A and B are shown apart, each in its own frame.
Chain A
Amino acid sequence: MCGIAGIFNISEDYSSSPNRFELQKMITMLRHRGPDDYGYYTDTSIGLAHARLSIIDVEGGHQPIHDREKNIWIVFNGEIFNYVELREDLIKDGVVFYSQTDTEVIVYLYKKYGLDFVNHLNGQFSIALWDKVQRRLLLLRDRVGIVPLFYYREGNRLYFASEIKSILPCMSNSPVLNHQALDQILTFWSPVSPNSMFQGVYEVRPGEMILIENSDITQHRYWEWEFPENNKDNYLKGNDAGLADELHDKLVEATKIRLRSDVPVAAYLSGGLDSSALVSIIHHHGNVPLRTFSLGFDDKKLDESNFQQQLINHLGSEHSSITCSSKDISDNFEKTIWHTESTILRTAPTPMMLLSGLVHDNQYKVVLTGEGADEVFGGYDIFKEGKIRQFWAKDSNSNIRPKLLKRLYPYLEINKSNSRAYLEAFFGTGLDNSDVPYFSHLPRWDTTSKSKAFYSDDMKAHLNDEAVSAISDSLHQNISSWHPFNRSQYIEAKSLMANYLLCSQGDRMLMANSVEGRFPFLDHNIIEFANKLDPRLKMKVLNEKYLLKKAMGRYLPGEIINRHKQPYRSPDIPAFFHDKTPSYIMDLLSEQEIKNSGYFDHKKVSILLRKIRAGKAIGYKDNMSFMAILSTQMWHHLFIKNFNNYLN
């Protein structure tokens, strides 16, 4: 991966042409994304800047890259995994390349196919492409949102960059919170796309191309998560074994092309099914040395080292691991928020940043990870929960049906509390409204929203719309015709995955240490295949990722295939209150600082802190509220109150 930035004069205005100094100011904020090289291009209309992490054509890949006539200029962050085949085709057409890069391939694909070039790309990317002759700028992102790209308009100028911190120095006025976006995070864990935490700063949406031509800005969706209308005739035909074989072959191909690199490639190993499957494919088909990295916790309740070790013994990889403590999390929390640029509701990103640090320290720049398999193949508990609640909604008077939830959440002691009233209060949220497309997610959103009890009056006064109406407006027009299971997958992929898992917990934590993540399960060929499967092959009764298990069973020990899925978790409140509690916690949460930022009610925050100090903060609501408040205060401290100090 790399970092890109740029400035564009939307209408021709030669009095304020972008200059090198402005671009330097922007791109130096992204040096963690690309520490190997800087490059610039400027003309009277546009300035492009690039910070490079050299992975393909290490010697010859300096960006911006251009066509032979120097009419097309591009800065590119990411990888085009099928560039080898695309390049061969273009050479047959007579193209003479001056580099070996995938970036140059994009330039000539654009020349050959025009705006359709993007449909030929298999990869993860954010691209700014400048067509000087047509005075046309394209800003686009990969299909699912692996690589970030943001933009901000001020007057005649459009600023764009891989991270928002690169745009902030260009603003005439100090940045301010987008209150609506914070409210959305405290509902869905992430802002509704294209919002960001910063007012006026938006993301290019996953699967979107923004075209700026003749002073007009238009948005084009070139790819979307699509599912068939819910009818068994519309799903892929074939028996389970045949479809599992087909899936296996596609996964092997998706993994192999993600091993293309001019620097060594490694893999993350969590001990769960997805990363184990991935590492096994590399072992059997990769033709590269197997190098793995993993994360453990000193809190044994969260640690999966035993499962990691089982697979390492099974495959014999060269392995390194890091054990994360509470102190590690609190010591690295400021750096975490600097990179997420957003409120987070769990500490989970911080250990991921420490893990990418381990990869970096071992001189690796690229890791393959199993991210995306749960969304694509139906692995999360929320899908099971949705399935049970749908089943329950069909006979909402049943006392037996909701008890299936006990299989899912044994710790909730559902049998202990015999009353339907308490079950309904939690899982029954929206039970009478099972046709809404986001039915499966209502309990989670309801629970997350409890943190809003801490809003200040000022924060409440800034909120106009219900968060749920914003996400509702952004959904696919055909969603109601899809199977409820597919609706859940879609909501999960568009909300939590794109803007939290791939972003705050993914790209940002990898790039903090100049490490590129690659995600075979998110290859669009895999997604498009999986989306056409009968949902019953994703979750057979309550057996999650059924077809993936069947496809990967040939490689993995039974203990890995059959183990109960353990969600990745890290300590939240306990990470900050221990014998070495850092002083910044009480500073950020002091009455004065809470009043200064103005987002939360200081009296309520002080009561929460009292509860925590007394050791009585036990539930997920307390954890989530504390994390929301602390991370928002840290965000304010870094980007609103003190950003100019960082610039200086």
Chain B
Amino acid sequence: MEFQNKIRKFILENYLFSEDESLLKNNDSFLETGLIDSTGILEVITFIQDELSITVEDDEMIPENLDSVDNVVSYVSKKLA
């Protein structure tokens, strides 16, 4: 839950420039909403790696792992398990 809050705060502040929690649902697709593009996703990856001291492997850089708050949380949970 703590990481979920952090990633939400990161997305809100960096891509929506807002503190309004209602603007971001946990299952919002970053790509479909136009929130994050191919360069933006590298920022998300850097954030995840810095926060959790893990390495996101090349073949893990796919929307199934990174395209929503839920997907990111699920991916890092598996990664840390």
**Once the chains bind, are B42 and A608 in contact (CB under 8 Å)?**
no
**Pick the contact of A419 from B18, B42, B61 — CB < 8 Å?**
B61
Given that A418-B58, A418-B59, A418-B61 are contacting pairs, would A604 and B17 also be in contact in the complex, using a CB cutoff of 8 Å?
yes
**Once the chains bind, are B16 and A453 in contact (CB under 8 Å)?**
yes
- Docked complex: B1-59 residues within 8 A CB-CB of A: 13-14, 16-19, 31, 36-43, 58-59
Q: Does A425 contact B (CB under 8 A)?
A: yes
Which A residues are in CB contact (< 8 Å) with B61? 416-419, 422
**Once the chains bind, are A425 and B42 in contact (CB under 8 Å)?**
no
Given that A422-B37, A454-B17 are contacting pairs, would A618 and B63 also be in contact in the complex, using a CB cutoff of 8 Å?
no
Q: Does B62 contact A (CB under 8 A)?
A: yes
Q: Does A421 contact B (CB under 8 A)?
A: yes
| Bound: A333/B9 CA distance, A | 33
Q: Does A426 contact B (CB under 8 A)?
A: yes
Which B residues are in CB contact (< 8 Å) with A621? 40
Return A454 CB to nearest CB of chain B, in Å.
7
Residue of A nearest to B32 (CB): A425
Return B10 CB to nearest CB of chain A, in Å.
10
Q: Does A412 contact B (CB under 8 A)?
A: yes
Residue of B nearest to A617 (CB): B14
B-contact 0/1 string along A405-438, CB 8 Å cutoff: 0000000111111110111011100000000000
Interface size, chain B (Cβ < 8 Å): 21
Given that A416-B58, A426-B38, A607-B17 are contacting pairs, would A421 and B43 also be in contact in the complex, using a CB cutoff of 8 Å?
no
**Once the chains bind, are B18 and A604 in contact (CB under 8 Å)?**
yes
**Pick the contact of B62 from A419, A427, A447, A453 — CB < 8 Å?**
A419
Residue of B nearest to A605 (CB): B17
Return A618 CB to nearest CB of chain B, in Å.
7
**Once the chains bind, are A607 and B40 in contact (CB under 8 Å)?**
no
Residue from B14, B38, B42 with most neighbouring chain A CB atoms (10 Å)? B38
Q: Does A220 contact B (CB under 8 A)?
A: no
**Once the chains bind, are B19 and A425 in contact (CB under 8 Å)?**
no
**Once the chains bind, are A425 and B14 in contact (CB under 8 Å)?**
no
Return B7 CB to nearest CB of chain A, in Å.
15
| Bound: A621/B42 CA distance, A | 14
Which A residues are in CB contact (< 8 Å) with B58? 415-418
**Pick the contact of B40 from A415, A427, A610, A619 — CB < 8 Å?**
A619
B-contact 0/1 string along A617-642, CB 8 Å cutoff: 01111000000000000000000000
Which A residues are in CB contact (< 8 Å) with B38? 412, 414, 417, 422-423, 425-427
Residue of A nearest to B61 (CB): A417
**Pick the contact of B39 from A419, A426, A608 — CB < 8 Å?**
A426
Q: Does A285 contact B (CB under 8 A)?
A: no
Residue of A nearest to B15 (CB): A453
Residue from A415, A419, A453, A607 with most neighbouring chain B CB atoms (10 Å)? A419
Q: Does A603 contact B (CB under 8 A)?
A: yes
Which A residues are in CB contact (< 8 Å) with B37? 422, 425-426, 447
Which A residues are in CB contact (< 8 Å) with B63? 419, 421-422
Return B6 CB to nearest CB of chain A, in Å.
14
Q: Does A611 contact B (CB under 8 A)?
A: yes
- Docked complex: A587-616 residues within 8 A CB-CB of B: 601, 603-605, 607-608, 610-611, 616
Which A residues are in CB contact (< 8 Å) with B36? 425
Residue of B nearest to A415 (CB): B58
Return A447 CB to nearest CB of chain B, in Å.
8
- Docked complex: A337-386 residues within 8 A CB-CB of B: none
| Bound: A415/B38 CA distance, A | 12
Return B45 CB to nearest CB of chain A, in Å.
9
Which B residues are in CB contact (< 8 Å) with A427? 38
Which B residues are in CB contact (< 8 Å) with A619? 39-40, 43
**Once the chains bind, are A422 and B43 in contact (CB under 8 Å)?**
no
Residue of B nearest to A427 (CB): B38
**Once the chains bind, are B39 and A603 in contact (CB under 8 Å)?**
no
Residue of A nearest to B12 (CB): A607
**Once the chains bind, are A611 and B42 in contact (CB under 8 Å)?**
no
Residue of B nearest to A604 (CB): B17
| Bound: A18/B24 CA distance, A | 59
Residue from A414, A423, A605, A621 with most neighbouring chain B CB atoms (10 Å)? A621
**Once the chains bind, are B13 and A611 in contact (CB under 8 Å)?**
yes
Return B18 CB to nearest CB of chain A, in Å.
6
Which B residues are in CB contact (< 8 Å) with A603? 17-19
Return B48 CB to nearest CB of chain A, in Å.
14
Which A residues are in CB contact (< 8 Å) with B43? 618-619
Residue of B nearest to A417 (CB): B61
Given that A607-B18, A619-B40 are contacting pairs, would A421 and B67 also be in contact in the complex, using a CB cutoff of 8 Å?
yes
Residue of B nearest to A449 (CB): B34
List residues of chain B with CB under 8 Å of any chain A CB: 13-14, 16-19, 31, 36-43, 58-59, 61-63, 67
| With A417-B58, A418-B62, A619-B43 already in contact, 19 other A-B pairs whose C-beta atoms are closer than 8 Å | A413-B42, A415-B58, A416-B58, A417-B42, A418-B59, A422-B63, A423-B38, A425-B38, A426-B39, A447-B37, A453-B17, A601-B17, A604-B18, A607-B18, A610-B13, A611-B13, A619-B39, A620-B39, A621-B40
List residues of chain A with CB under 8 Å of any chain B CB: 412-419, 421-423, 425-427, 447, 453-454, 601, 603-605, 607-608, 610-611, 616, 618-621
11 cross-chain CB contacts under 8 A: A417-B38, A417-B61, A418-B58, A425-B38, A426-B37, A447-B37, A603-B17, A607-B19, A611-B13, A611-B14, A616-B14
